[in-house]
Amino acid sequence: MSQLSVRSLSKVFERNTPNEKVALDGLSLEVAKGEFITVLGSNGAGKSTLFNAILGKFLPDSGSVFLDGEDITWQKDYRRARSIGCLFQNPLRGTAPNMTIEENLALAYTRTASKSFFAVHKKDSAYFRELLARLNLGLEDRMKTKMGLLSGGQRQAASLVMATVAKPKLLLLDEHTAALDPATSAQVMDTTRRIVADSGLTALMITHDMELALGCGNRTLLMDSGRVVLDVSGAERAALTPQALVELFRARSGHGLSDRTLLS
Ligand SMILES: Nc1ncnc2c1ncn2[C@@H]1O[C@H](COP(=O)(O)OP(=O)(O)OP(=O)(O)O)[C@@H](O)[C@H]1O
Ligand SMILES: [Mg+2]
């Protein structure tokens, strides 16, 4: 059984207006437990829309989404949040800047466990400390620091711990290192790889970085016009270079990738 099953999902924005946009066009995708998939595609290909549909930010026009065998197509977004961790490009999104790192972690931990949040328990605090120590950023000694005072990279790393603290069934990363400088981005990516591997998480990561897309995880999808136009894994993927991927994309979609998807 797939951990995530997306079946013929369609979404049209601003239907019957001059701005009508087919964001998802009957997209289907089966993701096995423990798979780490990188997702590439031009601007407007529908990548974030796919994530938003999985997160329940809107209802699809047709199709369905199953998580660990459960049909969640009509489930409220806050209910899904208990089993889906997510992280976005903007390090401000999804954290409470006036609360401490420890409180943010406790909130993420209790919310997913559907307990109520009163105070940080000692036992939990020790667990958070251990998770933060694994980042090698010294954040375990700054648990009482307000989240808003951290640098973008520190905050993304802490947010990654928040998104995974309760071992979600699925982790969605939408260009979560795109706003960081190259060195910090590499550090957060390193942390990402480690957390996903250590917890055996099932993860999807959107990126515009070809090298990263091929060098991270075990499967790569290329999206175009709301569809998956390329799905590679195993030996076929291992043999691909970024250049070959660009050529394949052109062959499948009939056009090139947008400028933002750079060959590094
Ligand atoms: N809430 C919305 N209302 C109207 N149109 C939307 C909405 N969300 C997305 N779209 C449109 O749907 C299409 C797909 O957008 P989406 O954000 O999924 O692209 P993307 O692949 O994530 O692109 P990028 O690489 O730029 O982040 C775009 O044309 C976008 O303008
Ligand atoms: Mg996007």
Instruction: Give the pLDDT score at 82.
Output: 87
Tens place of pLDDT for every residue, the chain, 264 residues? 899 999 999 999 999 999 999 999 999 999 999 999 999 999 999 999 999 999 999 999 999 999 999 999 999 999 998 899 999 998 777 788 999 999 999 988 887 555 555 567 888 899 999 999 988 889 999 999 999 999 999 999 999 999 999 899 999 999 999 999 999 899 999 999 999 999 999 999 999 999 999 999 999 999 999 999 999 999 999 999 999 999 988 888 888 776 445 443
Q: Does ligand 1 come within 6 angstroms of the Cβ of 22?
A: no
Q: Does ligand 1 come within 6 angstroms of the Cβ of 63?
A: no
Domains of the chain from N-terminus onward: 1-83+175-264 (3.40.50.300), 96-167 (no CATH)
Q: Does ligand 1 come within 6 angstroms of the Cβ of 151?
A: no
The secondary structure of the chain, three-state, reads CCCEEEEEEEEEECCCCCCCEEEEEEEEEEECCCCEEEEEECCCCCHHHHHHHHHCCCCCCEEEEEECCEECCCCCHHHHCCCEEEECCCCCCCCCCCCEHHHHHHHHHHHHCCCCCCCCCHHHHHHHHHHHHCCCCCHHHCCCCEHHHCCHHHHHHHHHHHHHCCCCCEEEEECCCCCCCHHHHHHHHHHHHHHHHHHCCCEEEECCCHHHHHHCCCEEEEEECCEEEEEEEHHHHHCCCHHHHHHHHHHHHCCCCCCCCCCC
Q: Which residues surround ligand 2, an ion (CB under 5 A)?
A: 48
Give the atom of ligand 1 at the shortest distance from the alpha carbon of 49. Answer: 18
Q: Does ligand 1 come within 6 angstroms of the Cβ of 253?
A: no
Pocket test of ligand 1: the residue of 10, 15, 21 to mutate, having most ligand atoms within 8 Å of its CB, is: 21
This prediction's pTM: 0.93
- Ligand 1 center to 8 CA (angstroms): 18
